Amino acid sequence: EDKVVQSPLSLVVHEGDTVTLNCSYEVTNFRSLLWYKQEKKAPTFLFMLTSSGIEKKSGRLSSILDKKELFSILNITATQTGDSAVYLCAVENSTSGTYKYIFGTGTRLKVLA
Amino acid sequence: NAGVTQTPKFQVLKTGQSMTLQCAQDMNHNSMYWYRQDPGMGLRLIYYSASEGTTDKGEVPNGYNVSRLNKREFSLRLESAAPSQTSVYFCASSKTRATGELFFGEGSRLTVL
């Protein structure tokens, strides 16, 4: 059975701290791994990763994938209160020309001023 | 810029009642998805439609039916609602696998009494 596991489940930090969120997976026919940020309502897209060892970066956020060890990390440096959200990891499973995304349970990050 | 539109945003049902959640996207996307989100469970895939005219079961399809009415619209029907179907439902769409980005609707909060 396909599985995506995120850790920690929740995290409380102070502004300026650096955090690392983890996502491990067991998925047949892996195609890609995606990170999303969910605040009040709908998740919003952060990164898509397909190749091992290539870091994706956007401002203070960065992410990398290790396809050998089957995990990804999402780093946030110099955290701000606006980073408070649930961070979701999803893995794309592709079978017979169709594809679907399996989500982890998310990591709830709270950044204190 | 409507993106993905879901209706209704809120609904309260009694056990055994039926209802349909509507979803429409105006981005000319091929693939559409229905997810449910429960506390501590992340997003779980109910059904998806890789392209117009096709639908497939996801992780938790029992108790639901879907219709891909045309390229724009993908509806989710609960024939006989149960309290276990109390959840927040998200519709999403994606153009191709190339970007891997899912665009989400704002969510529909359903309570079954």
Query: What average pLDDT is seen over chain B?
Result: 91
pLDDT band at B95 (very low <50, low <70, confident <90, very high): confident
Interface of A to B at Cβ within 8 Å reads: 4, 6, 9, 31-32, 34, 36, 41-45, 48, 50, 88, 90, 92, 94, 97-106
Per-residue pLDDT reduced to its tens digit, A53-91: 889 999 999 999 998 999 999 999 999 999 999 999 999
Do the Cβ atoms of B17 and B81 come closer than 8 Å? yes
Pick from B64, B55, B69: nearest CA to B36: B64
The pLDDT value given to residue B50: 84
Per-residue pLDDT reduced to its tens digit, A24-48: 999 888 888 999 999 988 899 999 9
Do residue A103 and residue B42 have CB atoms under 8 angstroms apart? yes
- Distance from the Cα of residue B79 to its chain's centroid: 14
| Most B-contacting residue of A2, A105, A107 (CB-CB within 10 A), to test interface | A105
Do the Cβ atoms of A58 and A47 come closer than 8 Å? yes
The pLDDT value given to residue A54: 87
With 90 as the cut, is the pLDDT of residue B52 above it? no
Distance between CA atoms of residues B106 and B113, nearest Å: 23
Do residue A90 and residue B102 have CB atoms under 8 angstroms apart? yes
